[in-house]
Structure 1
């Protein structure tokens, strides 16, 4: 078993950097993160920007010491059930063969976990803080990415705990990217206070189809250039808060009439139309340094005639995203329990094909043991090469390192979180957005 805390300490000695959990982007225990100012030029982040602590060579050395099972585990971000890491849950038992989230982490060593109210994860500020601290404690070798789907507006998985902020369409109506940045910083700082270090936001889809049943007000608007400016600003806002950001849903989910949760949308944009309508916000996100990009379960025949959704398309995830847009960060699949990606292949094969297409982290596989086992088998057979596996692990560990997570797991502080969350300064940002949007 790879002992990451020991290795991280060695890295700090090599680089001559002082260790401490403040550098992880989390406020030191007992301290209170500074609230976001209502003046854009004075917006402050809770802690100094975390610096990378490991060189590429050192991360490669870490990867070389990992077992195949440890590497494969890093490629998954499942849902775990219960209000606390040690809460016994029938859902955990049925899905993972163990009763608690902590035991599931010890068994599979996933790269991360995503929180949901329907999984019993979100009840109160103090409960979420205790949960995220408990989840991190269960993963001492490699700290976890703990994610949430907190776009604000329609998709707000941590509501009503955190400050209620307008959704993207309302922010878009203000015409002021600075407000997108400030909203993202508010949300990001509150997530971090809860122990959540990655947000599945911002939405980078351009809502060019008014009949779109799944994006709609989740988008900043229908003008690619204006959406691009908002997306880039939001990415910077999350980074101001020291939280990882995820632009979604690549290559674009804005021109659909089918919800990929329940079906498989087909978008007939030509390559030229895609470059003009869909690509600009993702290009802007990459330029702004976005940490991760989420794939879409949509078919774009003009980009890939195979009939496979983008999540399973090497032409799209590798050809367009990696090679054309130059994205070097982590590629997440959209949730693998959605119908749009499950129709053609089984739950195990989908995970293998997503990795071969260029995805790095498999989000919410509906049958985790089957998906995990299929990837393990594909690596052992050589279908997924060791080099391809290492590519994804390297990107994931690099993201964790840049967000201060390889030094040691951050420890959230409940009292500091309660002081920061829904503070007057944060509510003022929400009020100003509503006022300038004319809501």
Structure 2
């Protein structure tokens, strides 16, 4: 912890006390003046455009690759990202790797500048900069490419029990995003993951303890907004942590009573608001205790206006989760969803499946009197205020060379290592296998792998560098033949380390069940086996016979470096479970309680 404190000091960060509250700022005269003047000179079409945030295809604003031109033409009716911004008067753009926006640091910063140029019309009175966003939760959900700082995600930070670590991770992440022109990271996650079978949240949550989740949510709001001066987005209101359905593919229903919701889900969002969060993202979930209508929260005036605005007093920007997700499309058509979201109290409409249809639907709703222009102005004012506080009205462009120097800077990477070292959790060490004695051994590293991060290779290199004779054998969702081969190899080695990723997820026909079979075959050899969960810590409940088990919660290079050092006794595990692990066959039986963690 002393080294973490030194890293914080090196970043020149003045960390607030975990309970520190920062009220939402009152607009200054300058902010009010710019917002009012800008709004006054905007047409209705421009105002409606400010409400929308969408992806665009291409790594360059004006000269995308031919395939991206074709994709833009099919989706938006124009060929370049700049033309998409111009045609729809967009208020924001969200970056993804799959839309070819995130190749490298220089390219991202250049794209941001090109999109801002498209949004700003020199000499015009309607110049409005873009608010560029991306999902940079860290851990298993991160968009920035190498050499960016790759921190562990929320559940790993929950295992650290450190508000300072959470603050630092958010601040460094926010600084790197801001350097390339991204000012709205869709983080932190305020969901409380009380359902081990949650298919969409899991390690994206800080944990199952509402108090811990609230504390770390507030810390990350401070890191993003006070430290890095970017717009934090607490998500997913009113709480996505107890779902058994993925809202990307269905409409989840939360069966919490009102009292349970107040105790479990509400505290983190209250903490985010108290900490001054500028934006909150909605969830496409039904919560009958809050709104019995059956409408998802994104479309519920009772939840967004009645609870979030009026009861919680939130005055910032409400951004919807993506409107192309099934959870918000099951009850109403795509033309109605954006109108209903605005009527419910949303401000930013994220990724409608048909932007032209959504844009025209909102315009028609205003012209028909279903939505008033005054209601549109309310949302645009909130969006413009955030842009003003970001300084986008004064400095919308980024320095490309400065961005290249800032992203992946040495002090940022040092902070990643210091934070990650606090997160590794040793859950079982029954035979006292760890830490490993000496170095003269043969080691098989096998199991789940990822092409981008290659945790199998990183871990194998760590053993080799310490004198072991190492074999790397990736076996992601292995076939029966691959399992047999891995068992044969394990029998020839002194030690096997096997990585698993959501091995608990054994829905009918799900190939992830083969991970359980792989671990069983390795244990059956009788040779020492170390099992490492590189995502959900719940896997141990589904792996009988495992006596040595650790959780990294993520598979970043830094997590693998921390793991190999701990296995060799170069550092002691500090993490403690931020969730409760229950028996697979009896959820009423606790195997490992929240707070459990071994050390050596």
**For residue 64 of structure 1, what is the aligned residue in structure 2?**
40
**For residue 420 of structure 1, what is the aligned residue in structure 2?**
406
Question: Does residue 83 of structure 1 match 2:59?
Answer: yes
Match of 1:122 among 102, 115, 133: 102
Q: How many residues align?
A: 399
Shift of 1:57: 5.1
Closer, same or farther: CA 37–134 of 1 in aligned 2, 3 Å: farther
CA offsets, 1:356-393, max 9 Å, x none? 00000000111000000000000111101111111101
Match of 1:148 among 120, 134, 159: 134
Counterpart-to-counterpart distance in 2, 1:174 and 1:180 = 9
Match of 2:232, SS state, is strand
Question: Does residue 374 of structure 1 match 2:369?
Answer: no
Match of 1:106 among 74, 82, 86: 86
**For residue 30 of structure 2, what is the aligned residue in structure 1?**
54
1:92-241 → structure 2 map (5 Å cutoff): 92-140=72-120, 141-239=127-225, 240-241=227-228
How high is the TM-score relative to the length of structure 2? 0.65
Closer, same or farther: CA 237–150 of 1 in aligned 2, 3 Å: same
8 Å contact from structure 2 (residues 31, 388) kept in 1: no
Shift of 1:437: 1.6
Which has the higher Rg, Structure 1 or Structure 2? 2
1:228-377 → structure 2 map (5 Å cutoff): 228-239=214-225, 240-377=227-364
**For residue 74 of structure 1, what is the aligned residue in structure 2?**
50
Shift of 1:415: 2.1
Q: Once structures 1 and 2 are overlaid, which stretch shifts more, 385-394 or 365-374?
A: 385-394
CA offsets, 1:72-110, max 9 Å, x none? 000000111101001341111111111101111111111
CA offsets, 1:247-294, max 9 Å, x none? 000000000000000000000111111111001110011111111000
CA offsets, 1:234-255, max 9 Å, x none? 0110121111110000000000
8 Å contact from structure 1 (residues 259, 265) kept in 2: yes
CA offsets, 1:124-154, max 9 Å, x none? 1111111001000111110000001000011
8 Å contact from structure 1 (residues 38, 429) kept in 2: no
Counterpart-to-counterpart distance in 2, 1:244 and 1:388 = 23
Q: Structure 1 runs of 4+ off > 6 angstroms? A: none
* Residue ranges of structure 1 left out of the alignment (5+ in a row): 1-35
Counterpart-to-counterpart distance in 1, 2:340 and 2:146 = 37
Counterpart-to-counterpart distance in 2, 1:161 and 1:269 = 42
Counterpart-to-counterpart distance in 1, 2:398 and 2:161 = 35
**For residue 22 of structure 1, what is the aligned residue in structure 2?**
none
Closer, same or farther: CA 115–52 of 1 in aligned 2, 3 Å: farther
8 Å contact from structure 1 (residues 37, 425) kept in 2: no
Counterpart-to-counterpart distance in 1, 2:398 and 2:6 = 24
Counterpart-to-counterpart distance in 1, 2:131 and 2:77 = 22
Q: Once structures 1 and 2 are overlaid, which stretch shifts more, 375-384 or 54-63?
A: 54-63
Closer, same or farther: CA 271–90 of 1 in aligned 2, 3 Å: same
Shift of 1:61: 3.7
Question: Does residue 401 of structure 1 match 2:381?
Answer: no
**For residue 43 of structure 1, what is the aligned residue in structure 2?**
11
Match of 1:185, SS state, is helix
Counterpart-to-counterpart distance in 1, 2:279 and 2:157 = 22
Which has a greater percent of helix? 1
Shift of 1:64: 2.5
Which structure exhibits the higher relative contact order, with contacts defined as CA atoms closer than 8 Å and separated by 6 or more residues?
Answer: 1
Match of 1:172, SS state, is helix
Match of 2:177, SS state, is helix
Match of 2:137, SS state, is strand
Match of 2:236, SS state, is strand
Shift of 1:424: 2.0
8 Å contact from structure 2 (residues 57, 72) kept in 1: yes
* Residue ranges of structure 2 left out of the alignment (5+ in a row): 14-24, 121-126, 425-551, 553-600
Closer, same or farther: CA 38–189 of 1 in aligned 2, 3 Å: farther
8 Å contact from structure 2 (residues 7, 418) kept in 1: no
How high is the TM-score relative to the length of structure 1? 0.88
**For residue 499 of structure 2, what is the aligned residue in structure 1?**
none
Counterpart-to-counterpart distance in 2, 1:60 and 1:241 = 27
8 Å contact from structure 1 (residues 53, 407) kept in 2: no
CA offsets, 1:289-312, max 9 Å, x none? 111000000000111011010000
Shift of 1:54: 2.7
Closer, same or farther: CA 81–37 of 1 in aligned 2, 3 Å: farther
